[in-house]
Structure 1
């Protein structure tokens, strides 16, 4: 296994975190699940900065976003698998 492009904490998570600089659209990403060290591949649909999230599955507006096995907010727009997940399409449920 090479160096991962994306880290996922729990198998139930719906997003992973980019861990490489300058991830480009069309990249066949190596994704590693840190909980059990399993891996899978996923294609990035957008350029995504390091530290930002990518959808692991299609997410519908209103769906809960899961990261670290925790509810981190809700989608405010539909997000396709492989797309950038950030403040433009996710909102916290706290406010």
Structure 2
């Protein structure tokens, strides 16, 4: 699966990592719903770190279709809410 981190680039991830990323996404969604800004920051950072750690960065000039698009590390809780609506970042 190809994941784009806005403002950073694309990462290729093996589908076997889906469960770990989905767990972080569920946590992030709960923090967004409760308005927990500190928890949101922490979990968004953990999600982005997991993608970077588990995946392989594609070259800057590569342009693959992204199956997932994640917000930049500096995105606010409100910006991510607008981006998602009622769904998480990772399709269930």
TM-score, normalized by length of structure 1?
Answer: 0.24
Which structure's residues are more often helix, by fraction?
Answer: 2
Which structure's residues are more often strand, by fraction?
Answer: 1
